[in-house]
Chain A
Amino acid sequence: MPDTTYRALPPEEIRTRTEEVLAAHAHLEGALLPILHEIQLSFGFIPQAAVQPIAEGLNIGRAEVHGVITFYHDFRDAPAGRHVVKICRAEACQAQGANALADATLARLGLEWHGTTANGAVTIEPVYCLGLCACGPAAMVDGKVVGRVDTARMDAILAEAGA
């Protein structure tokens, strides 16, 4: 994920990129989700300034775009930390000690779920199943999967991420 935490994005940059994304997806049926994914990939979140051009491009209301952005857990309206660590909270991982892992991780960082460390390095998020149910507790670090995560492994992940 690009490091956008400490850089204010100029509105013209957002508009230009959004229009590029719109043009690239214009031929798709039901293009809004692919567009939002691409915008988020570009900026690390979906800037407010992108909503109006998307609405115009798809000929729908701004409220509708906003409604879609807020419905899905993946879409952010503000940047995350430089690294995102998702910890699985689903039943199969719970059966393998995921609750203790999550509690220890959040306590160590002094965070609640969705919180970001003060230095902006790491955001901790819950995820409900990564399909790694036979090798839990599972986590995902910036899109890379990790299995059988214990506290030692998590400490190493967090240290590498600079938390």
Chain B
Amino acid sequence: MKVYLPRDAAALALGANDVAEALLSEARARGIDLTLVRNGSRGMIWLEPLLEIDTPEGRIGFGPVVPEDIAAILNAPKTHLKALGLVEALPWMARQTRLTFARCGVIDPLSLEDYEAHGGLSGLRRALAMDAASIVVEVTQSGLRGRGGAGFPTGIKWETVRGATADRKYIVCNADEGDSGTFADRMIMEGDPFTLIEGMIIAGLGVGATKGFVYLRSEYPDAIAVMNEAVVIARAAGLLGASVLGTGPAFDMEIRVGAGAYVCGEETSLLNSLEGKRGVVRAKPPLPALQGFMGKPTVVNNVISLATVPVIFEKGAAFYRDFGLGRSRGTIPLQIAGNVARGGLFETAFGLSLGEIVDDIAGGTRTGRPVKAVQVGGPLGAYFPRSKFDTPFGYEEFDGQGGLIGHAGVVVFDDSADMLSMARFAFEFCAVESCGKCTPCRIGAVRGVETVDRIARGDADAIPLLTDLCETMKDGSLCALGGFTPYPVMSALTHFPDDFATTRKAAE
């Protein structure tokens, strides 16, 4: 009997290890020959821990499972109260276009055999037969843009590094996924680590880099463990080392652990941190593509950007580019979070409306109360009211509505949310995490908290001051931390004026 139970941190946080223990002891007691695969998560977090049993018809699911369920599931799986039927046929799964996450939740994350049996390494093999310029052209033609938030075309970044002359070049993977509401990086690293490794190797081939780093945040101990193991396995299999798969040039990589600074998700601050310095933002230019890690040409890409590279090479640039909307090509792993009935990861072509995502896919709020606001793109993303629910999910489309898609986290709040408090929190967070290099961010964040407090006390004069402060931070900050904190603040003020006005009236 073959069963699957995720080792994904969300599943662990909801008790997967206790379920695994119950499963193994029950199987021993019954003399069942049980193979337990600790897979990644399918992304249906509201069903975690999701147990899957392999059957001739396919994998059938049960969830959310507690240890007490195990005996009854083994007695009569098909009629159990928590039986979900074929996992692949569940609406959440069937409606997705899983390209980057095709293997996540399906395979044993640390089995290279499993990985290859599901299409892994075929992209790399194709890339190994191409010259560097053609590799970069393939990425450019796929239309892939940086999934970390900035949306910069990945191929153009690679071309800059490829064209630079240096004795050493680097591939740096930004796995400092600090944005609230995002967990796609964590899920792919825990559920399909080899796809990230393969993507980084292809990047190395494309730009002529032989060394890679994954800068992984310390808040993700489970992802760190899986990535470290995967690198060891990849090295032993000859995927990494002196010659990639025995035919290519050298490529090796290291997993480096961050130290709890949100700002290190900003690429120049990340590079400083990786070099062993304070994670202070660097002024650009010089671009990291020309003077990055240790002053050498460096590709800095988000986890999802790099993890999407293998499927682009496996299926071809045109295949990938044919999904999407406008200038947002391919698929995007939406991370649906906060107060939602169904939260998790949903990979789909760009173009779904925010309303479809929140009302239809997520099923509204978990509390059952009306949706008040949706923050898209992490703590630096704007709060969207219902009136903007027709906005299609795409880089330009969200920009046009005064927002950003960021790393595609969608955080839903019900009507108990107080938007003035959320605006205050945005400044508070900025003050805690500011690297201190530029004044608008370092001082502005603190003044912002004070100004919001004045509004809360009923001081109407503080509102234009807040607007003015946001203008200054937006225009004057060195990076997105100070520069984008005005997004949540101003969107809260603009779209939810009652939360700023009621308190004022109450005080008058």
Residue numbers of A with Cβ under 8 A of B are: 28-34, 36-37, 58, 64, 67-68, 71-75, 90-96, 127-136, 138, 140, 143-148
| A38 smallest CB distance to B (angstroms) | 10
| A67 smallest CB distance to B (angstroms) | 5
Q: Across the two chains, which residue of chain B brings its CB closest to A145?
A: B13
A146 to B278 alpha-carbon distance, docked (Å): 30
- The yes or no answer to B344 lying at the interface (CB within 8 A) is yes
B178 contacts A32, C-beta separation under 8 Å: no
B276 contacts A128, C-beta separation under 8 Å: no
| B135 smallest CB distance to A (angstroms) | 25
Interface of chain B, main secondary structure: mixed
B219 contacts A140, C-beta separation under 8 Å: yes
Closest 4 CB pairs of A and B: A134-B343, A32-B276, A147-B13, A90-B180
A93 to B276 alpha-carbon distance, docked (Å): 31
* Chain A residues positioned under 8 Å from B411 (CB to CB): 91-92, 95, 133
- The yes or no answer to B161 lying at the interface (CB within 8 A) is no
Contact of B14 among A93, A133, A148 (CB under 8 A): A148
B13 contacts A146, C-beta separation under 8 Å: yes
Q: Across the two chains, which residue of chain B brings its CB closest to A32?
A: B276
A96 contacts B339, C-beta separation under 8 Å: yes
Q: List 17 A-B residue pairs with CB atoms under 8 Å apart, sorted by A's residue number.
A: A29-B294, A33-B257, A37-B218, A37-B257, A91-B425, A94-B422, A96-B339, A96-B366, A128-B180, A128-B262, A128-B433, A133-B180, A133-B337, A134-B344, A135-B45, A143-B221, A145-B12
Apart from the given pairs A68-B276, A91-B425, A127-B260, 7 other A-B contacts in the complex at a CB distance below 8 Å: A68-B278, A71-B278, A129-B182, A135-B45, A135-B48, A136-B337, A136-B338
Q: Which of B32-52 contact A (CB under 8 A)?
A: 45-46, 48
B276 contacts A133, C-beta separation under 8 Å: no
* Chain B residues positioned under 8 Å from A132 (CB to CB): 9-10, 13, 183
- The yes or no answer to B309 lying at the interface (CB within 8 A) is no
User: Are A134 and B9 CB-contacts (below 8 A) given A91-B181, A128-B180?
Assistant: no
* Chain A residues positioned under 8 Å from B14 (CB to CB): 135, 147-148
User: Are A134 and B294 CB-contacts (below 8 A) given A30-B276, A140-B219?
Assistant: no
B10 contacts A93, C-beta separation under 8 Å: no
| B300 smallest CB distance to A (angstroms) | 14
B259 contacts A133, C-beta separation under 8 Å: no
Most chain B CB inside 10 Å of its own CB: which residue of A34, A95, A138: A95
Q: Across the two chains, which residue of chain A brings its CB closest to B178?
A: A129
A47 to B105 alpha-carbon distance, docked (Å): 42
B13 contacts A135, C-beta separation under 8 Å: yes
* Chain A residues positioned under 8 Å from B379 (CB to CB): 90-91, 128
The interface bits of chain B over 172-188 (1 if a CB of A lies within 8 angstroms of the residue's CB, else 0) are 00000111111101100
Interface contact tally, CB-CB below 8 A:
160
Contact of B9 among A36, A67, A131, A148 (CB under 8 A): A131
- The yes or no answer to B313 lying at the interface (CB within 8 A) is no
A143 to B220 alpha-carbon distance, docked (Å): 9
A11 to B48 alpha-carbon distance, docked (Å): 48
Q: Across the two chains, which residue of chain A brings its CB closest to B339?
A: A95
| A90 smallest CB distance to B (angstroms) | 3
A73 to B186 alpha-carbon distance, docked (Å): 20
Contact of B279 among A58, A72, A127, A138 (CB under 8 A): A72
| A113 smallest CB distance to B (angstroms) | 10
A51 to B142 alpha-carbon distance, docked (Å): 49
| A129 smallest CB distance to B (angstroms) | 5
* Chain B residues positioned under 8 Å from A29 (CB to CB): 275, 293-294
A92 contacts B219, C-beta separation under 8 Å: no
Contact of B337 among A68, A72, A92 (CB under 8 A): A92
User: Are A135 and B261 CB-contacts (below 8 A) given A72-B279, A96-B366?
Assistant: no
* Chain B residues positioned under 8 Å from A136 (CB to CB): 337-338
| A134 smallest CB distance to B (angstroms) | 3
B412 contacts A94, C-beta separation under 8 Å: no
User: Are A73 and B276 CB-contacts (below 8 A) given A134-B343, A138-B13?
Assistant: no
Q: Across the two chains, which residue of chain A brings its CB closest to B43?
A: A134
A129 to B277 alpha-carbon distance, docked (Å): 23
* Chain B residues positioned under 8 Å from A131 (CB to CB): 9-10, 177, 182-183, 185-186, 219-220
| B422 smallest CB distance to A (angstroms) | 7
B257 contacts A30, C-beta separation under 8 Å: no
* Chain A residues positioned under 8 Å from B279 (CB to CB): 71-72
A128 to B179 alpha-carbon distance, docked (Å): 8
* Chain A residues positioned under 8 Å from B417 (CB to CB): 95
Contact of A134 among B46, B177, B218 (CB under 8 A): B46
A135 contacts B343, C-beta separation under 8 Å: yes
* Chain A residues positioned under 8 Å from B273 (CB to CB): 33
Q: Which of B434-484 contact A (CB under 8 A)?
A: 435
A72 contacts B276, C-beta separation under 8 Å: no
A31 contacts B276, C-beta separation under 8 Å: yes
Q: Across the two chains, which residue of chain A brings its CB closest to B14?
A: A147
- The yes or no answer to B336 lying at the interface (CB within 8 A) is yes
| B18 smallest CB distance to A (angstroms) | 12
- The yes or no answer to B274 lying at the interface (CB within 8 A) is yes
B276 contacts A129, C-beta separation under 8 Å: no
User: Are A129 and B13 CB-contacts (below 8 A) given A71-B279, A73-B259, A91-B180?
Assistant: no
Q: Across the two chains, which residue of chain B brings its CB closest to A143?
A: B221
Q: Which of B353-392 contact A (CB under 8 A)?
A: 366, 375, 379
User: Are A91 and B422 CB-contacts (below 8 A) given A30-B276, A33-B273, A135-B14?
Assistant: yes
A91 contacts B336, C-beta separation under 8 Å: no
Q: Which of B153-211 contact A (CB under 8 A)?
A: 177-183, 185-186
Most chain B CB inside 10 Å of its own CB: which residue of A31, A34, A133: A133
Most chain A CB inside 10 Å of its own CB: which residue of B14, B273, B276, B343: B276
User: Are A30 and B338 CB-contacts (below 8 A) given A73-B260, A134-B344, A143-B221?
Assistant: no
